[in-house]
Amino acid sequence: MKQKKNIEFFNRDLLAKYICDEASPVEKSEVEAWLDQSVENREELEQNRKMLDAIDTFYKKERFDSVAAFKNVKAKMNPSKMKIIHRNPIRKEVITRFYKYAAVIIFAVFLASAGFYIGLKNHSTEVYSEIISTPSQVINEFTLPDGSVVALNSNSKLVFPKQFKGDTREVTIEGEAFFDVKPNPEKPFIINAGNARVKVVGTSFNVSAYPETEKVEVVVKTGKVQVINKSADELSAEAQIYLTPGEKGTLLNKSSNPQKSENTDPNYLAWKTHDLVFAEVPLNEVFKCLEKTYHVNIEVLEPELYNLKLNAQFDKKPIDFILNVVSLTFNLELSVNNELYTFSNHKNN
């Protein structure tokens, strides 16, 4: 009976921490001293360890509420919460029932305590960081905790954990970014972008997910990328596509299925590289590309000028150089006023 009392009143929180490898060196010494007291104590520990292995498996299935468990532990370990009624002490059935309930409470406290520590270990609150670019700023290179490198276009935001934990490396993007993912077959890289989930192992690709466009576009440069519709059944074939180099995936936020096509835009990375290629491209499309790449405003005084087609290639040239080439190519007048570039025919001056 003395040994049973020793087991019954040992610090259950401390025992749970010991099993979960969360105890301090001093606490470990206290538990190990208790274990040395008897074979029964060691057997008790092993039984509880086996029980906690099963509990650990359960909590890893994302069904553990650490807040509720903590409240449960706190309530059951507060003596004021336990009401013991001493009536009819002669009646053996009442006494027996009390001890049965007491045993259940002690067991429940142990379970909740262990669950609390296991839950905190498996579901600890993530600490997140974010990088944000201004409407006229491009962040050309940022290294994530796993060694992957990301470039962020203007007016974009990337949210990521300070440390990647678990079986995946997961980030969220609003806006546009180019990812060069460090390979890790055991830990896929996942980007949440609007209504899409982009999953890779190691590759490079561009993701555009500006909220105002109501669509997500993924263009693959190297490797292989999976694009999944988060709002649909992710296991269905229609809800996912695989992209290889030169392919583009498009997912409308109001649509159920991502669509795959060939990428026909050679300038999809111009915002990052400032390398531009125009082959018989109308000036209205040229100017849209330049506005996005250099964060300027371009207008024409005669709408028909938008139909002129440009053949040119620019490698990391400044915007003034490019627009002067356009002006000379089509014999147009170019004026600049507070970063607003205006084209017009010479005959109007």
Chain segment 242-292, per-residue pLDDT in tens: 999 999 999 987 767 899 999 999 999 999 999 999 999 999 999 999 999
Euclidean distance between CA atoms 140 and 178, whole angstroms: 9
Express the helix, strand and coil content of the chain in percent, nearest 5 each: 40, 30, 30
Q: Which residue is listed with tokens 């546009």?
A: 176
Which DSSP helix (H) or strand (E) runs through 165?
none
The number of C-alpha atoms within 13 Å of 184 and in the hemisphere containing its C-beta is 18
Phi-psi region of 98 (alpha: psi -120 to 50; beta: other; left: phi over 0): alpha
Q: List the domain boundaries for the chain.
A: 2-122, 128-262, 274-348
Tokens matching residue 138: 């491009």
In the predicted model, is pLDDT for residue 332 greater than 90? yes
The neighbouring-strand residues paired with 169 are: 189
Token readout for 93 is 């059935």
DSSP class of residue 201 equals S
Q: Look-up: residue for tokens 């693959």?
A: 220
Q: Model pTM?
A: 0.63
Q: Are 155 and 134 in contact (CB under 8 A)?
A: yes
Above pLDDT 70, what percent of the chain?
72
146: DSSP letter: T
Q: Are strands 189-193 and 196-200 parallel, antiparallel or unpaired?
A: antiparallel
Query: Average pLDDT in the 55-79 region?
Result: 49
Q: State pLDDT tens for residues 75-125.
A: 444 444 333 333 444 444 444 444 444 444 444 455 555 555 555 555 555
C-alpha torsion sign, points 14, 18, 21, 23: positive
Class of domain 274-348: alpha beta
Q: Say yes or no to pLDDT of 175 above 50.
A: yes
Task: Output the CATH code of domain 128-262.
Answer: 2.60.120.1440
- Check residue 233 and give its pLDDT: 65
C-beta atoms surrounding 310 within 10 Å: 18
CB atoms within 10 A of CB 9: 9
